[in-house]
A and B are shown apart, each in its own frame.
Chain A
Amino acid sequence: MLTEAQGGEGLRQRLRSRFRAWVNRRIPPARVVTLDQRRIFIFPSRAGFFFGLCLLLMLTTAINYQNNMSYALTFLLATLFIIAILHTYANLSGLTIRALRAQSAFPGQQAEFDIQVSRRKRRAHFALYLQWPDSTEALINLVDEDQVEVRLHAPVGRRGWYNPGRLLLESTYPLGLLRCWSWIDLDLCALVYPQPLVSAELPGLASDRPDGAAIPIAGSDDFYGFRDYRRGDSLRQVHWKGLAKGQGLQSKQYAAYADRSVWLDWDMFPGHSVEQRLSHLCYWALEFERLNEEYGLRIPDVQIQPGSGEKHRNEVLKTLALYGLPERQL
């Protein structure tokens, strides 16, 4: 029993992968896809099969009552179905789907995917249904406008490039009796950053100054608290007065250091796994960005000079996200 079930599963898997390979050959990934007969599939929908059943019922009525007009109506509806094949096909044919952009996201979040659907010919397209396997859905018409932008959201998983898979573009317009669809690989990937992992403080803060000292600028930065002294804390930070009062060795903490540039270093987190290191680094990059401080990144093979701002942040996060992953195939 078990082996049989497994065999069935295996067969299904094999068939599925064969099908996927076939679709890949037939509709190769591309940023811009125009739908033509190679890319459009058409088959009766569930309603279409139901309609067929109704037609059979009508035909038996016509036969049993020997009623010529009933025959005529049955045949009219049957041929309407044939005509609908052309109309349904024409509703997808000639549409161009263009990958616009994909918003980066953190694991567990929803990534935004923007695509554009446009037409080349003057014909109204209705009820175009778009969805990636896991994404939200969209239903659009192209009636007065020649192009429509669609935003879909999909939950992302691990860090790296998230490929939402093949986009399903489907329509049953105008009669709903036939389903016309295409599976398009838009070659649109969202970048997934490492999951930020909070660490209480930054051990062995690496500064770009050789002595490793950070200089607080009096007046502009706020002192915000104490914490237990750790090895590596600058002696300037030590709360001497507290020590004198017998409170133990404590370091002063400052909210921000205006001119200070920090190196986020791979070696700051010894003993952690690669993913944990990346997660911690990611957290601190975000933290420094939030505090509006400059920071650089130093991980094996990559070094990013300190800086701040959204562009910098994205570069850093992207480097972290793609660390150790194979180059994305384009």
Chain B
Amino acid sequence: MKMLQQVPRNALAWIIISMFTLLAPHAGRIPVWIMLIYLFAALWRIQVYRGHWSFPGRWVKLVMIVSGFAGIYLSFGSLIGLEPTVALLLTAFALKLIELVSRKDAYVLIFLGYFVCITEFLFTQDLLMVLYSLLNVIIVTTALVALHQPGEHRFNRKTMRLAGVMVLQAMPLMLVLFFLFPRIGPLWTVPVKSHTAKTGMSDFMKPGDISKLSQSADVAFRVQFEGEIPVKSQLYWRGLVFSKLEEGAWSNLGYFDVPAKERRQQEVVTKGEPLNYSIIMEPTQQNWLFGLRYATPDRPGILAAPDFRLYSLVMIEDEFQYQVRSWPQAQLETELSDWRREVELRLPDNDNQRTRQFASTLRAQAGSDEAFVDAVLQHFNREPFVYTLQPPLLPDVDGMDVFMFDSRRGFCEHYAYAFTVMMRAAGIPARVVAGYQGGEINPVNKTVIVHQFDAHAWAEVWLPEEGWVRVDPTASVAPQRIEMGLEEAVAAEGTFLSDSPLSPLRYRSIRWINQLRLRYDALTYQWQSWVVGFDGQVQFQLLRDVFGEISAGRFAAALIGTWALVLLPVAISLLRRREIRPQRPLDREYLKVCERLANLGYPRQAGESAADYAARISRECPDWAESFNRLTGLYTELAYQTPVSAASEQQFHQALRQFRPRKGRER
């Protein structure tokens, strides 16, 4: 079967195209040299095709494979993990192209291409990426089709049509299968994304960290409330609680920092109306989740930590959807344990002495804890403190002293830091809370879009009878930050998203761009809640709604029924094609006569010429001989005569009318 093993040029072209379209979305997460290998491989294969170079020998291949492995090991530091695995796959894909000789190699390459397609989804399931991958599937399928079109010696765009049609036809079947196929848990543990950077809020905060995060226009999460959306100034999305201050940096208490009996969240007496909402988070590669206070999770796998934050047992590697119920008015931890009080009061020795001194003085003047809190906020408000996205760098030691008395320029974390230090110095349990504040309300679908630039830090103080109370010192310095958002707060400075000039958020003033952005965001939310949210549970619910009772019989019936609905029209359209009819009316007339004779039992044999047929008919049925011979003669004359004379045409039609073969007249 040597003939079948050839790879047509068209197929080669499509394979090379698919290689690059498959590579493109991975470009950000693989080293540059892999892309160079792609160019090199394509060049080599094209040169082989043109006869300038030859296929690599066995040793060259071996060297390339080994150096590919070595390169990936050097670039990633290991071969384990999702990124190195994908990089290996991509490199193998490129190298396989160089030794693409026969159809068998092409199959390997094309199926590998489908697999590369799937690896992209492990990183993102973004709507645009899914559409792009669909295009990729069509391109790879086109290569597969082109592989089976021998003799296509030049690049043919039209090959894509059939592939596209087939993929579209497969689409409805796929949807049925998607909804019906039972979802089961992972079979074994798989390499995780080890080299994707953690994004968003970190569990370690130094002054300057949040202002850095606020440069990003990426979406952190989207929220859909069941009822009314609370006012923006109430949207404090708690993510991390920093109780530990060491060497000028805040961090949250680790699992083992907390004694066993303190690890459970204290009972909370709920009060007032709860808020119900669902959140879809973008992947962060971290474990903490966000919620309004006092947030209770809806499902196992999400823990409620003793400091009232939500914590996911698995790292958030993909978009993650969860439901939350919050009681904003609930009092948190009205009884403070000794251990907790001690932790929330602890300050590093000999650090920020001036600030602590200042706090003690202020506390003594204030008279009560509440008055002291107010006094500190007053201080921030009255003194010339500046809220800025570009705070000066502070020293690790005595940083707050520099901030409070010298620079007086800071972002939210500076104010929260200074405030908490002062509270603790005055003997009031206090801590820094980090998360996001506010969000953009999308009028299209009423979701709240929380961006990275909404990142915020504030403080919580513990007051007797009241428990933990939120205090946001930033509100005293820049109230518009809380009420309007960061953009307005730093408008005078002009630093909003100054590092991302292309972000559509910067062009919110242009109406249609903003409309487009919001519409796309609504679509993204819809997509995410559908794609991300569709798991075994949702599937079960959906199927029960559709089928009533779930049984194997109904499953099979649904599958077969819907598939038949799609496959039958496809089969009919494929098999019932238009017949090829002779174009000339002359041939049509003649063939009609032949058909009539065939019905009488004298069919024209395959390959029999008109003259031979006439001769045979004359022999077999002498009655018709004369008229049929005349007719045939005129037909052949007209068929091969140019130009056609009107006279013979008339004669032919006359002969047609005269020729009336009937059964009775035989012999």
Interface residues of A (CB under 8 A from B): 31-32, 47, 50-51, 54, 57-58, 60-80, 82-84, 86-87, 89-90, 93-94, 98, 100, 119-123, 126-127, 129, 137-139, 141, 146, 172-176
Contacts and interface: CB of A to CB of B under 8 A. Distances in A.
Given A121-B579, A129-B3, 5 more contacts: A66-B185, A89-B574, A98-B606, A122-B580, A126-B149
Given A58-B114, A71-B178, A127 B149 contact: yes
A89 B572 CA distance: 12
B231 interface: no
A32 B188 CA distance: 58
A62 B133 CA distance: 16
A70 B178 contact: no
B537 to A, nearest CB: 12
A78 B177 contact: yes
Contact of B148 (A63, A65, A67, A175): A175
A141 B148 CA distance: 10
Contacts, number: 167
Given A58-B118, A127-B149, A82 B107 contact: no
A80 B184 CA distance: 23
B169 A83 contact: yes
B125 A69 contact: yes
A72 B183 CA distance: 12
Given A65-B190, A73-B118, A174-B148, A146 B166 contact: no
B118 to A, nearest CB: 5
Interface stretch (B330-338, B527-535, B594-602, B630-638): B527-535
A75 B174 contact: yes
Which 8 residue pairs are nearest across A and B when measured between Cβ atoms?
Answer: A121-B577, A79-B173, A69-B121, A79-B170, A90-B574, A75-B177, A173-B148, A76-B174
B170 A83 contact: yes
B170 A82 contact: yes
Contacts of A54: 111, 114-115
Interface in B168-216: 169-171, 173-174, 177-178, 181, 183-190
A70 B531 CA distance: 11
B432 interface: no
Nearest to A51: B111
A61 B318 CA distance: 15
B260 interface: no
A175 B144 contact: yes
B167 interface: yes
A137 B150 CA distance: 14
Contacts of A90: 574-575
11 contacts: A76-B170, A77-B137, A78-B174, A83-B173, A86-B574, A90-B575, A94-B575, A126-B149, A139-B4, A139-B150, A173-B149
Given A86-B567, A121-B577, A122-B577, A175 B534 contact: no
Interface in B522-577: 531-532, 534-535, 563, 567, 570-571, 574-575, 577
Contact of B580 (A71, A84, A121, A175): A121
A33 to B, nearest CB: 11
Q: In terms of DSSP, what is the predominant structure of the interface of chain A? A: helix
Contacts of A68: 125, 178, 531-532, 534
Given A54-B114, A69-B125, A75-B177, A87 B574 contact: yes
Interface string B244-286: 0000000000000000000000000000000000000000000
A63 B189 CA distance: 11
B166 A74 contact: no
Contacts of B150: 126-127, 139, 141
Interface in B478-529: none
A137 B177 CA distance: 41
A72 B111 CA distance: 16
A122 B578 contact: yes
A76 B567 CA distance: 14
Nearest to B190: A64
Given A61-B118, A82-B567, A69 B531 contact: yes
Contacts of B578: 121-122
A65 B82 CA distance: 11
A175 B190 contact: no
B392 interface: no
Contacts of B183: 66
Nearest to A58: B118
Given A83-B170, A122-B580, A75 B181 contact: yes
B318 A67 contact: yes
Interface in B92-132: 103, 107, 111, 114-115, 117-118, 121-122, 125, 130
B607 interface: yes
A240 B133 CA distance: 99
B174 A70 contact: no
Nearest to B129: A69
Given A76-B137, A90-B575, A66 B531 contact: no
Contact of B535 (A66, A76, A77): A66
Contact of B145 (A31, A94, A119, A174): A174
A67 B125 CA distance: 8
A70 B166 contact: no
Contacts of A70: 118, 121-122
A140 to B, nearest CB: 8
A87 B168 CA distance: 13
B162 interface: yes
Contacts of B170: 76, 79-80, 82-83
Given A90-B575, A176-B148, A79 B177 contact: yes
Contacts of A74: 118
Contacts of A119: 580
B122 A65 contact: yes
A245 B144 CA distance: 86
A123 B577 contact: yes
B187 A64 contact: yes
Nearest to A66: B186
Contact of B178 (A50, A75, A139): A75
A72 to B, nearest CB: 5
Nearest to A32: B606
A57 B115 contact: yes
B186 to A, nearest CB: 5
A2 B169 CA distance: 55
A276 to B, nearest CB: 39
Contact of B174 (A72, A98, A120): A72
A127 B574 CA distance: 18
Contacts of B534: 68
A74 to B, nearest CB: 7
Given A79-B173, A98-B606, A137-B1, A67 B181 contact: no
Nearest to B130: A69
B464 interface: no
Interface in B1-31: 1-4
A41 B359 CA distance: 90
A77 B177 CA distance: 11
B241 interface: no
A31 B606 contact: yes
B278 to A, nearest CB: 17
Given A122-B577, A122-B580, A80 B121 contact: no
A82 B570 CA distance: 11
Contact of A73 (B117, B163, B189, B563): B117
Contact of A83 (B166, B177, B181, B318): B166
B166 A84 contact: yes
B476 interface: no
Contacts of B118: 58, 61-62, 70, 73-74
Contacts of A121: 577-580
